[in-house]
Amino acid sequence: MKQFDVPPFYRSSLIGEIKNKRKLEDPRKKDFTPTQVQVGDLTFYIARHFGFCYGVENAIEKSYKAIKDHPEKRIFLLSQMIHNPDVNEDLESHGLKFLQDTYGKQLIPFDELTSDDIVIIPAFGTTVEIENLLKEKGIEIDTYNTTCPFVEKVWNRSAKLSETSHTIIIHGKANHEETRATFSHSSQNAPSLIIKDIHEAKILGEIISGKRKMEEFHSLFKGKYTKDFHPETDLMKIGVVNQTTMLATETQEITDFLRKVMIEVHGESTIKEHMADTRDTLCYATNDNQSATYGLLDESIDLSIVVGGYNSSNTTHLVELLDAKFNTYYIRNEQEIIDHNQIYSYDIHNKKRSLKPNFLPAKKKINIAITSGASCPDKLVDDVIHKIIKLKNLDSNSLKIIL
């Protein structure tokens, strides 16, 4: 595995030690039981896999390299490099500026760009339209294009599906940068449709099976399909790909459901002519982090903490998994922990951050599950662990790691 040149202040000696030992003992990533870090009567159950993935480390490395190599040039980020405010704020502190926000709203007009400027394409990728616009301005986009290779894998799979006349069904959030980019790329050669979840998949299934009128398609999926999409013919042959940060189990559930619908409509003997096998588009890092979170659910836990940016899709899904069983707090960093009684936590349902009282239980022995999203630096997880150790008046020098 490639070693990236990521700024040292993103690293953690504690987390680094744990991850290095894990790599040696479980190189094939078959074991998803958590690591235990014990300090007195306090035990942290740390997810087997979490934090920076390949695509994120690659994006960060290229961004800081641009800063180092071109101190005399203006450097722009097309949008947030990754969905972590601490990382983005640090990049901004080095003079980088965002051209758009995460929803595609223009912050700095493209007209202000010149061929001398550097524009960094984020890990989520970008649309074909924006790529062409930058090229027309004479801006070289390859050197600092940090599109995750797993996102590009989805694009390549979509291109292959178009060659066999499949319509592309994208499991993703329509306003997310990655899904907007994937939709743009897939729609170059094939009819494409975005569906958010299994609920929308079931609606689509009812249209395919004739339980809903075809005429309903355009209103039910307004703004989520390509121009001149004809459901009568374009839903005869489909393939499902995904926004790589979605729940892998949900993507599989959607695929399995639509396959069942296609069998009901066309018969099992011809299913291969109507439904493509697209299991190879799931991101390994998303899978590993989610599988490791399931590993936390098997433990006896008093509360769980998820660290990451509040607009991070993959982090939100980790919160979903843990919140189904444990009292879960979604925090940006250790500063959200006020004292042993109070913590600021983000609610993924009402999209609000609020102060929560009595987050640490009034008992002697406490077990805390902890993980983070793929865009969260290890240092932030380390800070959270040590903040809680300090609040409990424990000695971090007595810390014991149990793999």
90 confidence band (pLDDT: 50, 70, 90) = very high
Q: pLDDT at position 233, please? A: 97
Following DSSP, what letter does each residue of 165-207 receive, concatenated? Answer: TPEEEEES-TTSHHHHHHHHHHTTTS-EEEE-SHHHHHHHHHH
Rounded Cα distance, 369 and 375, in Å: 19
- List the domains of the chain with CATH numbers: 8-52+285-402 (3.40.1010.20), 54-136 (3.40.50.11270), 152-282 (3.40.1010.20)
Active site residue 178: yes
- Among the listed residues 177, 178, 334, 336, the single catalytic one is 178
Sign of CA dihedral 368, 373, 379, 383: negative
**Residues 306, 51: Cα–Cα separation, whole Å:** 11
Q: Look up tokens 């550097």; give the residue.
A: 118
pLDDT tens digits along 31-51: 999 999 999 999 999 999 999
Residues 6 or more apart whose CB falls under 8 angstroms from that of 157 comprise: 239, 241, 278, 280, 281
SS3 content of the chain, % helix, strand, coil (to 5): 45, 15, 40
pLDDT at 287: 85
Distances (CA, A) of 121 to 11, 102, 259, 377: 24, 13, 35, 20
pLDDT of residue 277: 85
Contact 125, 147 (CB under 8 A): yes
Q: Give residue-wise pLDDT tens across range 258-292.
A: 999 999 999 999 999 999 988 767 677 888 999 99
pLDDT at 119: 97
Check whether 222 has a pLDDT greater than 90: yes
Looking at the chain, the whole-number percentage of residues with pLDDT higher than 90 is 87
- Which CA distances in Å does 263 have to 15, 90, 141, 232, 402? 48, 51, 44, 17, 49
Rounded-to-integer distance, Cα 281 and Cα 287, Å = 11
Predicted TM-score of the model (pTM):
0.90
pLDDT per position as a tens digit, 158-207: 999 999 999 999 999 999 999 999 999 999 999 999 999 999 999 999 99
Distance, in Å, from the CA atom of 282 to the CA atom of 303, rounded to the nearest integer, reads 29
Give me the half-sphere count of Cα atoms (radius 13 Å) on the Cβ side of residue 204. Answer: 30
Q: Is the pLDDT of residue 71 over 90?
A: yes
Residue from 68, 47, 241, 248 nearest 155 by CA: 241
